[in-house]
């Protein structure tokens, strides 16, 4: 029988919808009887210190919107680092955790400077290389000089900070083999034996709802007729939302009953909304903005097809498996973790390349056939249940935690 432990989960930022990949394991560990605390920066409406959600006790401080992930200047980085360290010292004295479970480079590198925190074992969930994420954003905006400085100096700075947290960790886990390879590429100093793929997951209780599509649409106030193509993403260039928009514009006249729903926010939203307004299919393209957590399962269920048109750096694709668990067919670009998620369903669920023509061709193929196959919703659900069960992933994580905490700190 595994021991019940005090675990402090740490994230660079907590925001419903953006951090399900961080919080889901935390609440599952709490459900299993562990004492779980969650330390993170939040926005103004985020959980307050002392608040408990799903058995997880929060310790938070307010950060300016966007600054943790996109940067807010050197002085603000210093403020964040000091805040993480102060909270870490407080937790060490009051909670005395058995394990630190890290989910982000900024918070981990900050807490690495707290000597007492480094006396306890660390497990690091490596979601994506910070330098690569930064390059994907910074490489598409600003002057040439600003891009050069940001990519060279800013990239190296981020990679160094990330390496600090990784070097302190007994074990590092990834959600896909692709991301395990990215870890080796960006951090060759990390011994391969310290990294383990535990796989990705979906909350089947939350997303595996079995309600008719028309009922789901009715509850959301959507038109019950026609077909819905859905994506839910942070709207920025690497996510490829412009590719999906272009594909829909090309095929809209051949599928007059189809609509495109785009959930999420991001720096490219205004530009893409302006483009959609000028499109001949503008009355069938809707930007939904942030989708509330309580509406997400219904929205996935209401859709006929989910599309993940990522250009680069897809570590896993949580939204893809959430759609599958809801019984909705999903297609995605043939790169990164998406290949591992969808290849078990067959090549017909993979988009050959991050190009408008390839996205359009695959959507046409799906709308003309696969989406209307009898029993397709049950097939998608069963695939998600067999391959992405949260409890199975946390089983593997819990075994690693037990192993780490039973051994002397290296």
**Span 276-331, pLDDT tens digits:** 999 999 999 999 999 998 999 999 999 999 999 999 999 999 999 999 999 999 99
Band (210; pLDDT cuts 50, 70, 90): confident
Q: What is the rounded (10 degree) CA torsion for 373, 378, 379, 384? A: 140
- CB-count burial class (<10 Å; 0-12, 13-18, 19+) for 382: middle
Q: Is 167 a residue whose pLDDT tops 80?
A: yes
Number of independent structural domains in the chain: 2
Q: Closest Cα partner for 238 from 266, 276, 280? A: 266
Q: Is 81 a residue whose pLDDT tops 90?
A: no
Give me the domain span that covers residue 331: 204-387
Band (163; pLDDT cuts 50, 70, 90): very high
Q: Which residues contact 30 (CB under 8 A, 6 or more apart)?
A: 36, 54, 55, 56
Q: Is 74 a residue whose pLDDT tops 70?
A: no
Q: Is 5 a residue whose pLDDT tops 90?
A: yes
Same domain flag for 138 and 43: yes
Is residue 75 domain-resident? Answer: yes
Same domain flag for 347 and 394: no
Asked if 309 and 333 count as a contact pair (C-beta separation under 8 A), the reply is yes
Asked if 258 and 252 count as a contact pair (C-beta separation under 8 A), the reply is yes
Q: Is 246 a residue whose pLDDT tops 70?
A: yes
Q: What value does the mean pLDDT take over residues 132-157?
A: 70
Q: Is 93 a residue whose pLDDT tops 70?
A: yes
- The pLDDT of residue 84 is 78
- The pLDDT of residue 196 is 95
Band (334; pLDDT cuts 50, 70, 90): very high
Is residue 37 domain-resident? Answer: yes
15-19, 86-90, 318-322, 377-381: which has the minimum mean pLDDT? 15-19
- The pLDDT of residue 37 is 95
Band (18; pLDDT cuts 50, 70, 90): low
Number of CB atoms found within 10 A of residue 219's CB: 14
Reading the block at residue 80, the tokens are: 């964040």
Q: Is 404 a residue whose pLDDT tops 80?
A: yes
How far is residue 360's CA from residue 246's CA, in Å, rounded to a whole number?
Answer: 8
How far is residue 300's CA from residue 55's CA, in Å, rounded to a whole number?
Answer: 27
Q: Is 384 a residue whose pLDDT tops 90?
A: yes
**208 DSSP assignment:** -
Same domain flag for 235 and 124: no
Q: What value does the mean pLDDT take over residues 214-220?
A: 96
- The pLDDT of residue 138 is 65
57-61, 104-108, 142-146, 333-337: which has the minimum mean pLDDT? 142-146
Q: What percent of the chain has pLDDT over 90?
A: 70
The angle, 0 to 180 degrees and rounded to 10, between the axes of the packed helices 390-406 and 20-31 is 70
Same domain flag for 291 and 153: no
CATH code for the domain in which residue 20 is found: 3.40.50.2000
- pLDDT: which is higher, 114 or 219: 219
- CB-count burial class (<10 Å; 0-12, 13-18, 19+) for 206: middle
How far is residue 360's CA from residue 368's CA, in Å, rounded to a whole number?
Answer: 12
Same domain flag for 183 and 263: no
Q: What is the Rg, in whole angstroms, of the alpha carbon atoms belonging to the chain?
A: 21
Reading the block at residue 253, the tokens are: 């006249």
Asked if 313 and 238 count as a contact pair (C-beta separation under 8 A), the reply is yes
How far is residue 388's CA from residue 329's CA, in Å, rounded to a whole number?
Answer: 15
Band (383; pLDDT cuts 50, 70, 90): very high
Taking each continuous run of H as one helix and of E as one strand, the counts in the chain are 18, 14
Is residue 101 domain-resident? Answer: yes
Task: Please provide the size of the chain in residues.
Answer: 410
Is residue 1 domain-resident? Answer: no
Residue 95's alpha-carbon distances to 108, 129, 338, in angstroms, are 18, 30, 39
- The pLDDT of residue 378 is 94
Same domain flag for 148 and 173: yes
Query: Which residues are paired to 42 by β-bridges?
Result: 14, 62
- The pLDDT of residue 149 is 62
Asked if 27 and 55 count as a contact pair (C-beta separation under 8 A), the reply is yes
Q: Closest Cα partner for 203 from 400, 377, 31? A: 31
Reading the block at residue 352, the tokens are: 């050959």
Same domain flag for 106 and 222: no
Band (117; pLDDT cuts 50, 70, 90): confident
Is residue 304 domain-resident? Answer: yes
Same domain flag for 221 and 83: no
Band (70; pLDDT cuts 50, 70, 90): very low
- pLDDT: which is higher, 84 or 133: 133
Q: Is 71 a residue whose pLDDT tops 60?
A: no
- The pLDDT of residue 61 is 82
Question: Which alpha helices (DSSP H) does 112-176 contain, by range?
Answer: 130-138, 144-149, 155-167
Question: Which alpha helices (DSSP H) does 53-200 contain, by range?
Answer: 67-70, 74-94, 105-111, 130-138, 144-149, 155-167, 177-186
Same domain flag for 172 and 247: no
Is residue 295 domain-resident? Answer: yes
Asked if 64 and 369 count as a contact pair (C-beta separation under 8 A), the reply is no
- pLDDT: which is higher, 41 or 383: 383
Mean pLDDT of the chain, nearest integer: 89
Put the strands of the sheet holding 258-263 in their side by side order.
285-289, 258-263, 227-232, 305-308, 330-333, 350-351
Is residue 141 domain-resident? Answer: yes
Same domain flag for 156 and 34: yes
How far is residue 197's CA from residue 147's CA, in Å, rounded to a whole number?
Answer: 33
Q: Is 75 a residue whose pLDDT tops 70?
A: no
pLDDT digits (tens, 9 = 90+) for 323-332: 999 999 999 9
Same domain flag for 38 and 54: yes
Reading the block at residue 4, the tokens are: 């019940």
CA 198 to centroid of chain Cα atoms: 15
13-17, 59-63, 164-168, 216-220: which has the minimum mean pLDDT? 13-17
Q: What value does the mean pLDDT take over residues 162-190?
A: 96
How far is residue 64's CA from residue 251's CA, in Å, rounded to a whole number?
Answer: 41
Same domain flag for 232 and 370: yes
- The pLDDT of residue 76 is 53
Q: Is 242 a residue whose pLDDT tops 50?
A: yes
Is residue 309 domain-resident? Answer: yes
């Amino acid at each position: 029988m595994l021991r019940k432990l005090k675990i402090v989960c740490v994230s660079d930022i907590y925001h419903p919808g953006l951090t399900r990949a961080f919080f889901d394991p935390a609440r599952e560990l709490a459900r299993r009887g562990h004492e779980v605390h969650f330390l993170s920066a939040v926005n103004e409406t985020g959980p307050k210190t002392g608040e408990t959600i799903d058995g997880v006790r929060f310790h938070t401080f307010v950060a300016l919107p966007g600054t943790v992930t996109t940067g807010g200047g050197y002085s603000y980085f210093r403020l964040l680092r000091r805040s993480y360290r102060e909270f870490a010292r407080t937790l060490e004295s009051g909670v005395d955790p058995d394990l630190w479970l890290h989910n982000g480079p900024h918070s981990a590198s900050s807490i690495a400077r707290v000597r007492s925190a480094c006396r306890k074992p660390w497990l690091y969930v490596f979601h994506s290389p910070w330098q690569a994420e930064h390059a994907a954003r910074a490489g598409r905006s600003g002057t040439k000089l600003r891009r050069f400085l940001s990519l060279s100096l800013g990239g190296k700075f981020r990679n160094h900070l990330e390496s600090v947290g990784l070097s302190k960790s007994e074990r590092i886990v990834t959600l896909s083999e692709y991301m395990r390879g990215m870890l080796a590429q960006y951090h060759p100093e990390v011994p391969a034996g310290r990294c383990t793929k535990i796989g990705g997951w979906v909350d089947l209780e939350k997303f595996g709802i079995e309600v008719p599509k028309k009922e789901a649409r009715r509850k959301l106030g959507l038109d019950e007729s026609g077909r819905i193509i859905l994506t839910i993403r942070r709207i920025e260039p690497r996510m490829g939302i412009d590719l999906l928009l272009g594909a829909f514009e090309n095929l809209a006249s051949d599928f007059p009953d189809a609509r495109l729903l785009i959930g999420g926010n991001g720096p490219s939203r205004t530009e893409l909304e302006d483009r959609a307004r000028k499109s001949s299919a503008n009355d069938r393209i809707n930007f939904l903005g942030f989708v509330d957590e309580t509406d997400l399962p219904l929205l996935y269920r209401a859709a006929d097809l989910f599309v993940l048109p990522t250009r680069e750096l897809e570590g896993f694709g949580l939204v893809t498996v959430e759609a599958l668990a809801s019984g909705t067919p999903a297609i995605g670009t043939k790169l990164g973790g998406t290949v591992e998620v969808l290849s078990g369903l067959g090549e017909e669920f993979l988009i050959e390349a991050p190009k408008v023509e390839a996205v359009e061709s695959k959507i046409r193929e799906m709308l003309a056939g696969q989406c209307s196959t009898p029993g397709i919703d049950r097939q998608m659900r069963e695939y998600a249940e067999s391959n992405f069960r949260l409890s199975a992933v946390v089983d593997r994580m819990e075994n690693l935690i037990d192993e780490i905490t039973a051994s002397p700190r290296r």
